[in-house]
Amino acid sequence: MPAVTVDNPLTLPRVPVTDPALKDRPVVSLTTAPRGFEGEGFPVRRAFAGIDLRALDPFIMMDQMGEVEYAPGEPKGTPWHPHRGFETVTYIIDGIFEHADSHGGGGVITNGDTQWMTAGAGILHIEKPPEHLVMSGGLFHGLQLWVNLPSRLKMAEPRYQDLRSGQVGLATSPDGGALLRIISGELAGVQGPGETYTPSTLIHATIAPGAQITLPWRADYNALVYALSGDGQVGSGQGSRALASGQTAVFGSGDTITIAADPVQESRLSGFDVFILGGAPIREPVAAHGPFVMNAQAELVQAFEDYQAGRLGSIPAAHMSVDASTPDA
């Protein structure tokens, strides 16, 4: 169950009914996210695996973390590792995660919170479950998204945004059949709290069984929808395509996005949960390896050399008991 809910969506601002003369974006591809493990061994689905970077631009990768019900002693995180040249967005749907970094950012994010970390010129950070969750076990579910930075901002000063669940912009569909949680960007006059170097909109939507929503979408943004849980349809008319949990839909050009939930969902689900995202393409060369995303191979080499020389920061003294690891995602 997503952490941010409302008793009556009809009390929220409503997305207006879209003009039928507008072009609804067609679905150009569907992919299924393979399963894997990240960090110290927590399960993920690689949401963007197999999708051309040109279709993802300005995004690089996204992992769905969990959904998993940990037994005592099982919760895992990531060791200390570096990043340069992009931003990480970690959104916790259910559960709890601790973050710390070499620039003094960090804290605990839980149940609908988001951390938005700009690695920029370089940073070390760690993400892990708190000790009490390791001891007790419990539910964990979230997303981590990598947002690229243009070349002029790749060496920007690192920063950390702590976005609490209560700050998330909330809206609904014209009939109240969908709850829209706006993390960044703007939709129907509702602004998300995330401050972005790269213009982008991130929305977590829960669509009630049998309901449909058509969202206005900036024509200069790309558009992707990832199914977190449940089953539904994307696109409209004869171009509608089935979308199941763990699949990503890439849309073509147009003015609106249509998503519908199947009438019957698993009994444990409140509806069809999807993550909707789009941004202004950067259209620059991408050289990515491990924890670094740059524009050229020589910049990658420099990033590894700077990390090995300690120029990306150091582990704060309060965290020195935690071993710094080799570069990881």
Which pLDDT belongs to residue 319?
A: 61
Which pLDDT belongs to residue 32?
A: 98
Compute the 3-state secondary structure of the chain and give helix, strand, coil in percent, each to the nearest 5. Answer: 10, 45, 45
Which pLDDT belongs to residue 320?
A: 58
Residue 287 maps to a domain: no
Q: Which phi and psi (to 5°) does residue 59 adopt?
A: -95, 155
Q: Kindly list the strands in the beta sheet with 59-70, ordered across the sheet, starting from the edge strand earlier in the chain.
A: 35-38, 42-46, 59-70, 138-148, 86-94, 114-118, 159-163
Residue 31 maps to a domain: yes
Q: Which phi and psi (to 5°) does residue 54 adopt?
A: -65, -30
Residue 252 maps to a domain: yes
For residue 52, how many other CB atoms are within 10 A of its CB?
Answer: 10
Which pLDDT belongs to residue 323?
A: 44
Which pLDDT belongs to residue 230?
A: 96
Q: Locate all alpha helices (DSSP H) within the chain, ordered by sequence.
A: 53-56, 131-136, 297-308
**CA–CA separation, 193 vs 164, rounded Å?**
9
Residue 278 maps to a domain: yes
Residue 315 maps to a domain: no
Which pLDDT belongs to residue 322?
A: 45
Domain residues for the domain of 229 are 9-282+297-309
H-run or E-run covering 294 = strand 292-294
Segments of the chain scoring below 50 in pLDDT: 322-329
Our count of domains for the chain comes to 1
CATH, residue 156: 2.60.120.10
Which pLDDT belongs to residue 174?
A: 95
Residue 321 maps to a domain: no
Q: Judge if pTM exceeds 0.75.
A: yes
Which pLDDT belongs to residue 324?
A: 45
